[in-house]
Amino acid sequence: MHKKLFIPGPVEVREDVLAGMAQPMIGHRTKAASALQKGISDKLRKLMYTENEMILSTSSGSGLMEGAVRSCTGKRAAVFSIGAFGDRWYKMAQANNVPADCFKAELGQATLPEEVDKALQGGMYDVVCITHNETATGVTNPVYDIAEVMKKYPEVVWCLDAVSSLGGAKIEVDKLGVDVCITSTQKCLGLPPGMSIASVSEKAYLNAQKVKFRGLYFDLVELYKFVTERDHQYPSTPSLSHMFALDHQLDRIMEEGPEVRFERHAKMAEMVRSWAGLNFALYSNEKYLSDTVTCITNTREISFAELNKALGERGYMISNGYGALKDKTFRIAHMADTTPKDIRELLTVIDEVLTEM
């Protein structure tokens, strides 16, 4: 039996989107491939509220995160971590010999604008890496407040990990001044895993050109140049199947309307939060709760494995805690094409299972 996924990626994928992947191949150097990439970019620009160029990478989101920190850092990167995915960005910097410092917040808390300001004041950093939505704790950072600080440092390149929020929460890339905004297909966009997406500002591109060792496969300059100078092409062979499905899914997202989509996510988040408040407790600071994933403290100390097994037998799957929070919390994702009705159904089934435990 297929289990309906309520985990923070991969998510449930609509039948028509799955079918979108099963199209005959086209040559990746053809005009048709260029048109496909360009069409995807135009739609993504609307969803991301930006005029920046879009690059695609045949990798999961981690690919372009690693590419961004490596390609953009000429001096030193300031990584702000509020959990496992922020930590990962710092590890990527270290693994690539990119000078970096990690500023960590307590789990369940957010990156505060004044912390970013304090770190940037000395002029040590030319790149800032921030997680938009920390999937491990269900926290969304106050990026609009952080943006006010970033405006004081126009020479610094801002990289934002929006892997678990883009498509489910409003991120106005140009208004914020985000230089590299990264996501991947298997979360709020509602596609199978396998492709990563980033908007890249001209500033990020020009700065990256001065960086000597950017790697090759995830070199932002190379990816950007193929888009701008080679008519929306891709340096190697991209997953055309993902591109077919992405193009189709972006049409669906535009049909629904981005604002309506974000409201649907907010509504589902509200439902899960009030349920969690009644039955368990919310793990994170209530000022910064995510609209795409909720992290719940296992206050009743139930066996999560048993809960998820019982849910599995009924055709549902939720997620355990991540990293350091593995045994203390569990998570329910409410992203992509999941509906409030699906959430209501899931919560009813969890209630049923809990009475039996």
Ligand X SMILES: *Cc1c(COP(=O)(O)O)cnc(C)c1O
Cβ nearer to ligand X, comparing 9 with 113:
9
Binding range to ligand X, per CB under 6 A, among 12-20, 68-76, 130-138, 296-304: 130-138
Q: Which is nearer to ligand X, 96 or 184 (CB)?
A: 184
Nearest to ligand X of 161, 179 (CB atom): 161
Kindly state whether residue 90 participates in binding ligand X, applying the rule CB under 6 A: no
Contact flag: residue 9 with ligand X (CB under 6 A): yes
Give the x-and-dash track for 239-278 against ligand X (CB under 6 A): ----------------------------------------
> Which residues, including other chains, have CB under 8 Å from residue 229's CB and lie 6 or more apart?
none
* Member of 40, 112, 157, 163 binding ligand X (CB under 6 A): 163
Q: Which stretch binds ligand X (CB under 6 A): 41-49, 57-65, 91-99, 298-306?
A: 57-65
**Cβ contact 65:113 at 8 Å:** no
Cα(first)–Cα(last) distance of the chain, in Å? 23
Angle at the Cα of 145 from the Cα atoms of 144 and 150, rounded to 5 degrees: 90
Cβ neighbour number for residue 120 with a 10 Å cutoff? 18
Peptide bond into 10 cis (omega under 30): yes
Stretch that binds ligand X, among 115-123, 157-165, 169-177, 251-259 (CB under 6 A): 157-165
Helical packing angle, 84-95 and 61-72, nearest 10°? 50
User: Interface with ligand X includes 290 (CB under 6 A)?
Assistant: no
Residue from 52, 96, 131, 239 touching ligand X (CB under 6 A): that is 131
How far is Cα 237 from Cα 10, in angstroms, rounded to an integer? 23
Backbone angles phi, psi at 75, to 5 degrees: -105, -75
Q: Which is nearer to ligand X, 59 or 353 (CB)?
A: 59
60 binds ligand X (CB under 6 A): yes
Amino acid at 258: P
Task: Identify residues 171-210 at the interface with ligand X (CB under 6 A).
Answer: 184
- For the bound state, the minimum distance from the C-beta of residue 83 to ligand X, rounded and expressed in Å, comes to 8
Query: Which one, 204 or 333, has the nearer CB to ligand X?
Result: 333
Reduce the DSSP state of residue 65 to 3 states and report it: helix
Between CA 17 and CA 167 the distance in angstroms is 15
85 is an interface residue for ligand X by CB under 6 A: yes
- At residue 275, what are phi and psi to the nearest 5 degrees? -60, -45
Q: Looking at 61, 67, 113, 190, which residue binds ligand X (CB under 6 A)?
A: 61
H helix runs in 73-130, sequence order: 84-95, 113-120
Count the neighbouring beta carbons within 10 Å of the beta carbon of residue 178: 29
For ligand X, give the closer residue by CB, 201 or 319.
319
Residues near ligand X, by CB under 6 A? 8-9, 60-62, 85, 131, 133, 135, 161, 163-164, 184
